[in-house]
Structure formats: C-alpha cells, structure tokens
Structure 1
Amino acid sequence: MTNASENQAKTRQLLGMKGAAPGETSVWKIRLQLMKPITWIPLIWGVICGAASSGGYVWSLENVIKVLACMLLSGPLMTGYTQTLNDFYDREIDAINEPYRPIPSGAISLGQVVTQILVLLLGGIGVAYGLDLWAQHEFPIMTVLTLGGALIAYIYSAPPLKLKQNGWLGNYALGASYIALPWWAGHALFGELNSTIMVLTLIYSLAGLGIAVVNDFKSVEGDRQLGLKSLPVMFGITAAAWICVVMIDVFQAGIAGYLISIRENLYATIVLLLIIPQITFQDMYFLRNPLENDVKYQASAQPFLVIGMLVTGLALGHAGI
C-alpha cells in the first residue's frame, strides 16, 4: 500500500467511513472513530436550519456561541453517543461487514466503550440544561429534546425493540434524528417550537428516511445473515434503491409545495431546482450500482439536499411560521 493510500485509509478510519483499515493504536483516535465524525455534519447543519426557521436569530457574538454550543450538543456529543451505542450493539454485524471497526477488531474493550457512551450522554444532557438556563426557557425544552433523542437512539440500536431490525421504522427513526431533532433544537433556542414546525420537519424526515436507506447497502450481507429486515434485504437491491430515491425526491417536492401554499414562491422554486441535480446523480451513480456507488452518490447529491433544508428554514423564518 502506498503512503497516499495509507493516509487515505487512516483518514477514512478516523472519520468512521466505509473502507477503512485496521491498525490504529491511539486510544483517542479509536474513540473518535467510534463517534463517526462524518455523521455529525447533517445534525450540525440541522441546527442552522432550525435557527433560520425560528425567525429570531440575529447576528451577535452571544448568538454565535449559542449556536456553536447547540452544534456541540447535536453533533459530537449526542451523535457521538448514538454512533458509539450503535457500534456496541452492532458488534456482531460489524464483525461480518466491517471487521476493522474498533470493537470487532479488539482495538478497544467493551468496558471502555460503555464508559464513552455514558460520558457522551451525560455531557449532552449537561450542555442541553446549560442552554435552557442561558435561553431562560421556562420549560427545559433543550433538555427534553436531548433525553428524547437519547431514548430514540437506544431503542434504535438495543434489544428488545431494536428499531433498526425493521427497515421502515429504523430508517425513519434515523431520518427524524438527523433532520427533525437538531432542527427543533436550533428553532427552540431562538424561538418558540410549535406544532407546525414539528410536523413539517417530521414530513421532511421522510426524505431523511431515503438517505438512511443508502447506508443499508454497505451492510446487506451481514443484515441478511443475522435476519435484519433492512429494505435491501426485504425488497432486493434494485427495488430498495428506487424506494430510496423516490422518498428523497417526493418529500422534498412536497415541502416545496407547502412553501408555495404559504406564498414563499421564490424559496419553493429554489428547493425544486435543487432536486434536479439530485435526480441526475441518482441516475448516474446510485440506481446503476448502489452497492459500489453509495458513498460517491452521497458525496455528490447530498449537498443539494442540505442546501434545500436551509432554504426551507429561511422560508419558514421569513413567513413567521
């Protein structure tokens, strides 16, 4: 392996990406790998979208620090907790699909993993409570959202419910955790979280369900062996790929339709235009070979999805929803 290839493998391993290689010995890098930093990005972005939709965000040093604290909560702490917890309960599957992961490779003990889970969870609850005090919330909405997210992460990964065993429920729980929860947190920090925002973002999370399905293709063999009913296992590779792209496109278009209904036509048009390159990359990469092109598809198409989320947040803030 060349030095460039080794460096690429180490970077992928550190970020928690598919296609890494074993051999890391630094316990802190191993802990970071468990937290999968690459997965923090959509939740950090969701906080920004929520702040935009609140209509109450104004640029100031204090508000920037608040947003950064909320990003720390949603990304490194709570997503890190979720990913570490998931790896703990997925160690048998990972031994088949991704044996280089820290737990199946023996790079870290189960006791150390449990400690990391608890530290991240308690850190998240502490930051959430601090944000409630800072924002002078009468009801501790940030703390409640954090506890709710922690519960969803647990029932997603752990028996007896283990929602990820069901392709529909598991992927929707994942989609809602990636879109709705951080959005609610960002909105609640600068405005009043209401039922309209909650329902709209839960609908948007159905597009997130499609994104979550993309991740199932890398583990289809292990899921099949262990009886997990992911959509690629239930419907086959081709049908699951189509379900994935239809969910992504249709529910984004539905959100654009809602924006038209509240007379935010410019924002709606931008959201619709952002769907076009996604469809292009879906045809170029994902539908042709989802097993080989899943990462390439996410890298090329997902930026248009997240930009559309911010456009939607700005539209809702402009409309005063």
Structure 2
Amino acid sequence: MPKSSILFVTKIRAYLEVMRPANIVTAFADVLAGFAVAGGAIALQSGELQISPEGLVWLLLSTFGLYGGGVIFNDYFDADLDAEERPERPIPSGRLSKTEVAILGILFFLIGIGAAYQVNAYSIVLAVLITVGSLLYDSWGKHSVLWGPLLMGLCRGWNLLLGCSIVPITLLIDWYLPFIPITYIASITLISQGEVHGGSQKSGFTALGLVILVTGSLLLLGAQSTYELMMALPFIIIFGGMVIPPFLKAAINPNPDFIKDAVKRGVLSLVLLNSALAAGFGGLMLGLLVVALLPISIGLAKLFAVT
C-alpha cells in the first residue's frame, strides 16, 4: 500500500477514535426513546399518533452532531492529561493536532444545532443547551465530584428531551423523565473518576445505589397511564442484569480494571435504559428497534475506545 494511502487510513482511524462511535450510537437511543414518549403523550391527548418521520431524522442527525462534538472536545481538553495517562490517544500520539480536533468538534456542533433548526424552536434551545453543557463538562466540570456527574447527566437528560421536542407539549407533560438518565449518567460519571488510578468504596456504593434507584424508577413508571409496564419489563430486567453486577463488583473492589468494566457496561447499557422507556411509552416494536442499537454499539466498542 502506498505511503499516502497508509497516512490517509491512519488519519481516518484517528478521527474515528476521537468520535467514539459506540457512544454516539447510545445517543440515538436517547432520541428514539424521547420520540416514543412524545408518541405516548400525543396519543393520550388526542387519541391519534401524528409525528413527522422527517423530524425524527433531523433529530437523529442533531444528536449525532451534538454528542459527537462533545466526545471530540473531550480529547481536545484532555490532551495534556492523555499525554501522561493515555499516550496512545490521537492527540498525544501525534496522529491528530489539537487544531484538527477542535475544527472537527466545531463542525459536529454546527451540524447538531443546524439539524435541530429544521425541527422547531424547542429543539434549537435544547441543542444549544447540550452544546454548552458538553463544553462546560469537557473543559471544567469533569474534574469536579459534584459538577461532573451533574453536567453529564443534564446533557443526556436534554438529549432525551430533544427526542420529545418533536411534539413540544410533551416537554410539559413528561418534564420529569430526564431525571432518570440524569441520575444514571451521574452514577457512571461518579464511578468513572477512578478508572485510571482506582476509586473508593464510598463512591462505588453511591454509584451502585443510583443505578438501583434508576432501575426502580423504571418500574414505578408503570403507575402512569401512558406507560405499559409489561411491555417494558423484559427490557428493565435485562438492563438491571447488565449494570448492577459490574457496579457491585467495582464498589466492593474499586480497582481500575473493575471500574473500567463497570463504566463500559454502563455506557453501553444506556441503550437498554432507553429501550425500556421506548417499549413502555411506544410499544414492543419501538423497544426492539432501540435495543437493536446495542449490538452495533458493542461491535463498535471492540474497535474504538468507549472511555
């Protein structure tokens, strides 16, 4: 293979590494779950399901840009730290410059906000909030025990609402739902703070408690009329089975290997969390559509780093 071709492939590989494709797939699940919630809400109000499929495509493109921009800037702001702890990452290894990564991140954020512009004003506001929240997390918040989990959780909660925004009235009816992904992401972010040098049992058991709280919250949603618990129950059981054991192991023995496994399982299981919401609000087929993203995300996680 010519040297120019090898350099091109190396560069493309490096760009894909900073994008963390497996994580972006989980963001699609957020929007699809929000879409399902919107369908349930509008059906309750009018007895009809009238949602534009074009709007859903734009929102999926929006979350692709917004989440992609967030993870790309994560490498930008972590360049000096990665030089010490992860020298194989694209910037410290010299495969990409900080300028190249910044330009790519800005491009992704512009795609995200531009796609949201095609839907409605509520989608635009949420896209801007996600952009600002992501940059605050990447540049400052991730180093805070309090603000790191909160900012990352807010971004995932807003991403769920981005899917809901296709029917704006849903934002008023189901305003509380983002607290579920916020709590879940807070648990992942909290335990991930020890994935390089090891963590503490206190943080581990707090994260485990939050995961159990999230699982219980999915069950409690059955108390409302638009959520079919029996449709969601298989997805909830699988979700709990995927995340609770590795979080428990990492809490009991918070060494970096166990923590990395818990974080990886936690990120990938976002798809299962969203599938439970999608099945409960939108029916079995929509739940299965969301869970079909999981093998895609797992496959990509084998090729590109998740954390």
Per the TM superposition, whether the score is higher than 0.5 is: yes
Q: Please give the alpha-carbon distance, in whole angstroms, between the structure 1 residues aligned to 2:88 and 2:206.
A: 30
TM-aligned CA deviation for residue 149 of structure 1: 0.7
Change (3 A) 1:152 1:285: closer
Change (3 A) 1:120 1:269: closer
Q: Is 1:166 matched up with 2:144?
A: yes
Query: 1:33: Cα distance to partner?
Result: 1.5
Task: Tell me the matched-pair count.
Answer: 269
- TM-score where L is the length of structure 2: 0.74
**TM-score, normalised by the number of residues in structure 1:** 0.71
Which residue of structure 1 aligns with residue 90 of structure 2? Answer: 102
CA apart distance, 1:48 = 0.9
Change (3 A) 1:59 1:35: farther
Choose which of 249, 253, 258 in structure 1 pairs with 2:216: 253
Match of 1:67 in 2: 56
Alignment-derived partner of residue 182 in structure 2: 205
What is aligned with 1:311? 276
User: Which residue, out of 22, 35, 45, partners 1:38?
Assistant: 22
Q: What do you get for the CA RMSD once the two structures are aligned?
A: 3.2
Q: CA deviation at 1:260?
A: 2.6
Gaps of 5+ in 2: 1-6, 284-307
Q: Which runs of 4+ in 1 moved over 6 A?
A: 57-62
Shift of 1:68: 3.6
The 1:155–1:68 alpha-carbon spacing in structure 2 relative to 1, beyond 3 Å, is same
Question: What do residues 146-185 of structure 1 show as CA deviations (whole Å, max 9, x unaligned)?
Answer: 1111111121122xxx11121222112112323x122111
Residue 259 of structure 1: CA displacement? 2.8
Note closer, same or farther for the CA distance 1:300–1:29 as it changes in structure 2 (3 Å cut): closer
Whole-angstrom CA distance in 1 between matches of 2:97 and 2:239 = 44
Greater length-normalized contact order (CA 8 Å, ≥ 6 residues apart): 2
Identity of aligned residues (%): 17
The 1:112/1:313 distance shift into structure 2, 3 A limit, reads same
Which residue does 1:292 correspond to in 2? 257
Distance 1:73 1:200 in 2: 20
How far apart, in 1, do the equivalents of 2:204 and 2:271 lie? 20
The yes-or-no answer on 1:195 pairing with 2:172 is: yes
Asked if 1 retains the 8 angstrom alpha-carbon contact of 2:239 and 2:269, the reply is yes
1:256–1:271 Cα contact (<8 Å) kept:
no
Q: Deviations over 1:29-64 (max 9, x none)?
A: 22221111121122111011001111159999961x
CA-to-aligned-CA distance 1:95-118 (integer Å, 9 cap, x gap): 122111111222222222222122
